[in-house]
Amino acid sequence: MKLYYRLFVITLMIIIVIAGCSKADETIKEDVPLTSEAEKKDDEKNQEPEIETSKTSDAEEQKSPGEKQEISEDTKKETDEISLLQENNAQTIPEPSKTEEVVSENDEFTSVENQENSEALDAVTLKIESLADKNLTISLDELKAMGDMIYEADFYSLNSFGTTGYTHFKGVNLWSLLESNSLISDEASKVTVVAEDGYKMEFTIEQVKRQDYIDETNPDAKHPMIIAWEENGEEYSSKEGSPFKLVVGQKEAGDVNKPQWVSNIDKIVIE
């Protein structure tokens, strides 16, 4: 009887131990999926911006098929704008590291920081390349101080779809700028304005020299070609690329002048 009792007690203890273990197992099993689900949610959050932007570019792609060359130019510009935005977004993420402290602690962030700084420095200068290696880099502040050479007016625009508009621009008279810096040599025959996205417009010296571009809706207007840094009272932000735009009026009534407005100028080449 004593033996049976002992066996019974031992069996009971074994059962209790086993039951205890499986309970503990369940607790662990419950913990595991909880953690991974929390991680999943975090991952989803991190991916959200990516999903959104890829949707945007899909929408952009759907716009282009079957449209004319002019449209694909615009679409390209818009796509470039989106990728620029994406780049900016990518650069916005490490922004909390902008304080000196974090920068010196983390080499990776230091290089991002330096890149940002050099891009910002590049952006506020206008580069002019000319024959005979007479290259010039002018800062925005220097341009703003050019007194007489500064031109401000409402410019009429007509694009190839027939869309029209008026935009107020302030900038420097391009011909005066080139002349006063002796950048137009006798051999020079053309001026090419090149944008950061590769878009460019080529002009003859005579076209750049001309000071009486018209506005077919305003008989009083006589515009020079200008390099604008301000549009409708607001300066361009160098965060959105080079803050310079070439602006020109119309050669004659009906002249489609808007495509000639080269935005985000990278450089001006005289050859």
To ligand MTE, the closest distance from the beta carbon of 261 in angstroms equals 5
**Residue position matching structure tokens 């207007």:** 221
Beta-bridge partners for 213: 223
Round to the nearest angstrom and report the end-to-end CA distance of the chain. 115
Using rule CB under 6 A, residue 250 touches ligand MTE: no
Cα 172 to Cα 167: distance, rounded to the nearest angstrom: 16
Q: Quote the crossing angle between the two packed helices 2-63 and 69-92, to the nearest 10°.
A: 140
To ligand MTE, the closest distance from the beta carbon of 198 in angstroms equals 8
Residues 68-87 touching ligand MTE, rule: CB under 6 A, are 73-74, 76-77
Q: With CB under 5 A as the contact rule, which of the stretches 9-17, 19-27, 71-79, 147-155 interacts with Mo ion?
A: 71-79
Written as six digits, the tokens of 84 are: 């620029």
Angle CA(171)–CA(174)–CA(177) in degrees, nearest 5? 100
Q: With CB under 5 A as the contact rule, which of the stretches 91-99, 102-110, 124-132, 251-259 interacts with Mo ion?
A: 251-259
Nearer to ligand MTE, 151 or 261 (CB): 261
Helix (H), strand (E) at residue 167: strand 164-173
Beta-bridge partners for 172: 150, 227
To Mo ion, the closest distance from the beta carbon of 71 in angstroms equals 8
Cα 172 to Cα 151: distance, rounded to the nearest angstrom: 6
Per-residue binding string, ligand MTE, 171-210, x by CB under 6 A, is ------------------------x-x-x-----------
Nearer to ligand MTE, 130 or 263 (CB): 263
Q: With CB under 5 A as the contact rule, which of the stretches 81-89, 123-131, 175-183, 255-263 interacts with Mo ion?
A: 255-263
Cα 31 to Cα 33: distance, rounded to the nearest angstrom: 6
Site residues (CB under 6 A) for ligand MTE? 73-74, 76-77, 159, 195, 197, 199, 258-259, 261-264
Site residues (CB under 5 A) for Mo ion? 74, 259
